[in-house]
């Protein structure tokens, strides 16, 4: 069992992976029904790298995500009810309905914010890590970003600064092979984005993103290094998203073959981990089925909470801004 993980911990890993899958499956349905407005970027297929990385953190550690934002806070242990309400733009949401799907923040689990601007979370993570270093509070910051973000200027700026100042950060590239509909192979000169770490004098590690335990091992080592004051690590998780870039794009784009998608489905991170829990860790299949059932109940309760929560009043549009409140006219 990696790094002396307890049976309770691996069961929690499985629970969080299933929560992400079921939450986003439900969000897809609600989006089609009109209960969730705007764009919806889901991460079905990427649950292994999300949960493996988040489970390597302490509860008080920081995390920064991206536009594919629901899985990250769930992977860090966030509750589902207020998260679902946020997707529905309801006042009961984690950001009182003002963030929506792409701009979530849940400070209760250290989620500092997720944004639709590609690559913008990297300097935010460097800033959080700098703050942790200056305060000497022992915290680290885990930053999720995609392969497309690795070609943004913020990638160089953030990693270079973190390396120079030896900041306690883990930069995790979720390489799912596509930036929206653009294959990474057509716009990225290197095969492995992790190789770019050499330019900053920091470790760069490639890991199978479909293997939750492998990701946990790699990120745990990076976290240990960061806490010890040795600086950041760049981790590249090779993974895949099953659905389109966003729920409202339409399947007619056909930028991926059905054969490619089917091949990745054969390496589904939840199915792989479920088999290992049964075969290697001797977890009873009935126990796993019970977790599945419990998660479905949590999802149903979260949907009910979101639907019953009111929309924020119009006047709230003028609260939580940088300037003093202005009156609606």
Query: What are the tens digits of pLDDT across the range 225-271?
Result: 999 999 999 999 999 999 988 887 666 678 899 999 999 999 999 99
HEC assignment per residue over 249-305: CCHHHCCCCHHHHHHHHCCCHHHHHHHHHHHCCCCCHHHHHHHHHHHHHHHHHHHHH
Alpha-carbon Rg for the chain in angstroms: 19
Query: What are the tens digits of pLDDT across the range 20-73?
Result: 999 999 999 999 999 999 889 999 999 999 999 999 999 999 999 999 989 999
Question: Tell me, what's the pLDDT at 246?
Answer: 86
- Could you tell me the CA-to-CA distances from 157 to 123, 125, 130, 298 in Å, in that order? 7, 12, 14, 41
**Rounded to whole angstroms, how far apart are CA atoms 144 and 94?**
20
Output the CA angle 246-67-212, nearest 5 degrees. Answer: 95
Inter-residue contact 193 to 223 (CB < 8 Å): no
DSSP 8-state code for residue 106: B
229 burial level (CB within 10 Å; 0-12, 13-18, 19+):
exposed
pTM higher than the cut 0.85: yes
- Could you tell me the CA-to-CA distances from 88 to 64, 209, 307 in Å, in that order? 22, 30, 8
| Span of 107-121, 260-274, 310-324 with lowest mean pLDDT | 310-324
**Rounded to whole angstroms, how far apart are CA atoms 236 and 209?**
8
Q: Indicate the SS3 state at residue 68.
A: coil
């Amino acid at each position: 069992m990696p790094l002396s993980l307890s049976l309770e911990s691996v069961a929690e890993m499985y629970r969080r992976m299933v929560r992400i899958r079921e939450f986003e499956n439900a969000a897809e349905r609600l989006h089609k029904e009109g209960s969730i407005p705007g764009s919806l970027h889901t991460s079905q297929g990427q649950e292994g790298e999300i949960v493996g990385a988040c489970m390597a953190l302490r509860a008080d550690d920081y995390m920064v995500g991206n536009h594919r934002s629901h899985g990250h806070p769930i992977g860090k242990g966030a509750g589902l009810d207020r998260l679902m309400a946020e997707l529905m733009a309801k006042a009961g949401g984690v950001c009182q309905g003002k963030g929506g799907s792409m701009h979530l923040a849940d400070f209760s689990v250290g989620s500092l914010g997720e944004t639709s601007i590609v690559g913008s979370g990297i300097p935010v993570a460097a800033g959080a890590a700098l703050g942790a270093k200056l305060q000497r509070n022992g915290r680290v910051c885990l930053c999720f970003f995609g392969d497309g973000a690795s070609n943004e200027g913020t990638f160089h700026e953030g990693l270079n600064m973190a390396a120079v100042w030896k900041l306690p950060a883990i930069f995790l590239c979720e390489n799912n092979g596509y930036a929206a509909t653009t294959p990474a192979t057509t716009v990225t000169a290197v095969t492995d984005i992790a190789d770019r770490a050499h330019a900053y004098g920091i470790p760069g590690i490639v890991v199978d993103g479909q293997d939750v335990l492998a990701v946990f091992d790699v990120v745990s080592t990076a976290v240990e290094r960061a806490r010890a004051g040795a600086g950041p690590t760049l981790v590249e998780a090779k993974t895949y998203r099953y659905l389109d870039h966003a729920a409202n794009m339409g399947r007619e784009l056909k930028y991926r073959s059905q054969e490619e998608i089917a091949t990745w489905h054969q390496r589904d991170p939840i199915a792989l981990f479920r088999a290992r829990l049964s075969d290697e860790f001797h977890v009873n299949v009935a126990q796993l089925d019970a977790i599945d059932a419990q998660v479905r109940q949590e999802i149903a309760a979260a949907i009910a909470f979101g639907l019953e929560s009111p929309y924020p009043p119009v006047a709230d549009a003028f609260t939580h801004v940088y300037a003093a409140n202005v009156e609606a006219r």
